[in-house]
Structure 1
């Protein structure tokens, strides 16, 4: 049997604690398992590294010398792993306008905690991008099909607003009710939009729909007065187009925001990313 890192880590833990009980607690393993691992190391080396009886544990002379070398090896390995991990980039996909300040908070938290970087990738359908492996994690707005293999974590809900052309007869309105939206043609992004005829469960469902296939097509269609749109209010804060106007929308259901990822893709980093995303969502209130 060859010496493995688990043998060195077990021995160093016991040598530092001078206790199998405390070392086992530190390593989150059982004491019998830790004892077997240390005995395996001594058997491979054919030396006694520790003197132990029922009341105490001490290093032998050989054990004290070996401890120094083992610690050097573990430090070098940990440094090599950390250096490699810092080069890992997590690809975060989004279809349009990331929620703020959630996005900025999440990226800052994650990068400070892991040393890894996040690259932002604009894709028309982020959920499909995750499943196909083109991105590692996706910001998804709206409900998610339960048949997707991706794991979905809901973060928060966004308020919806109406958006229309500056030439629309709605442009000067102070507000519009959700059940009034159907009076105008509804411009819908069929790929990544958050609002469509399916969003109405009661009255007021739009009867005329203008279909587009990405955010830019949707925006230019609204600006050209082909109909009105409904979007999360983040768009209102970004001055997305000089030829559109935003109108407060009364009685509209909120729009969910989630992140989606494949559980077996970068599991350690995804766990840290989810933690950062949830913490930032909590700060958002």
Structure 2
């Protein structure tokens, strides 16, 4: 029988605790399973490592010497794994401004828990990039098509604000009602935008729509006074363009924020990332 790391970890836990009960609790396994694992190690080495009776556990002389070497092996393996994990970067895609402070908290929490890094990648269509394997996890705003193979985890909802050119008649307004949006041409990012004709289920949306294919085109079109836009309010906290102004909206539906990833891709890392993302959203 080959000696595996699980055999070494089981023996070291018992040797350090001098108790099968405490070692089993530490390793989160049953005591009979732990006993079998240690016996397998002794059988493979053809030597007794532990003396045990009904109330006491102690190391044999050979066991004491083997303990030191087993600890060195496990330490070297843990160091090798930690070094490798530090070089693994989880690719997180986003189409434009990340929600704050959620993004900063999530990255810090995930990197602290795993020792891995997060690489930030801007893409026009994050959900498609996940499905195509260009990124590992996507930050997605707005509703997600139920036919996507990606797993979607809803995090929170963002409030919306209107944005217009400094030359627009709307620039001097104190606020705007959601039902007034239809009076203005609406500039829409058809790839990753959060607001478009689909946002009005009753057909009460704007009659004139200016379509763009990404965030930069959308922003420059608004700045050029081709129409107004509607975005999550995080944009108000960023100086995204000197030629636009933000107008608070009342009565606007909120915009969902989610993360999306393929269920079978990097399951350990993405599970930890999802946990960090959900915790940071609370």
TM normalised by structure 2 equals 0.95
Q: Distance in 2 between matches of 1:271 and 1:195?
A: 30
How far apart in 2 are the matches of 1:57 and 1:101? Answer: 52
Within 2, Cα distance between the matches of 1:237 and 1:254?
17
Q: Does 1:89 find its partner at 2:109?
A: no
Q: Which residue pairs with 2:49 in the alignment?
A: 49
SS in 2 for 1:170: helix
Asked whether 1:35 is paired with 2:35, we answer yes
Matched residue count: 282
Which residue in the other structure is 1:98 paired with? 98
Contact 1:189 1:213 (C-alpha < 8 Å) held by counterparts: yes
- Secondary structure (helix, strand or coil) at the match of 1:68 reads helix
SS in 2 for 1:144: coil
Normalising by structure 1, report the TM-score: 0.94
CA contact (8 A) 1:178 1:204 kept: no
User: Partner of 1:71: helix, strand, or coil?
Assistant: helix
Task: Indicate conservation of the 8 Å contact 1:181/1:204, yes or no.
Answer: no
Distance 1:101 1:41 in 2: 50
d(CA) in 2 for partners of 1:201, 1:47: 75
SS at match of 1:171: helix
Separation in structure 2 between the aligned mates of residue 245 and residue 64 of structure 1, nearest angstrom: 73
Matches within 5 A, 1:55-134: 55-134=55-134
* Aligned-pair CA distance for 1:71: 0.8
Deviation sequence 1:136-191 (CA, Å, 0-9, x none):
11111011122222222212111100111222221211111101111111111110
Q: 1:127 touches 1:140 (CA, 8 Å); kept in 2?
A: yes
Distance, in Å, in 2 between the alignment partners of 1:225 and 1:258 is 31
Are residues 1:144 and 2:144 paired?
Answer: yes
- The alignment partner of 1:2 has SS state of coil
Partners of 1:180 and 1:204 within 8 A in 2: no
Q: Which runs of 5+ in 2 are unaligned?
A: none
Deviations 1:204-233 (A, max 9, x none): 321221111100111111112221110011
Task: Please tell me whether residue 167 in structure 1 is matched to residue 167 in structure 2.
Answer: yes
> In structure 2, what is the equivalent of residue 239 of structure 1?
239
Q: Which runs of 4+ in 1 moved over 4 A?
A: none
2:267 maps to 267
Residue 180 of structure 1 corresponds to 180
Q: Which runs of 5+ in 1 are unaligned?
A: none
1:203 deviation in Å?
Answer: 6.3
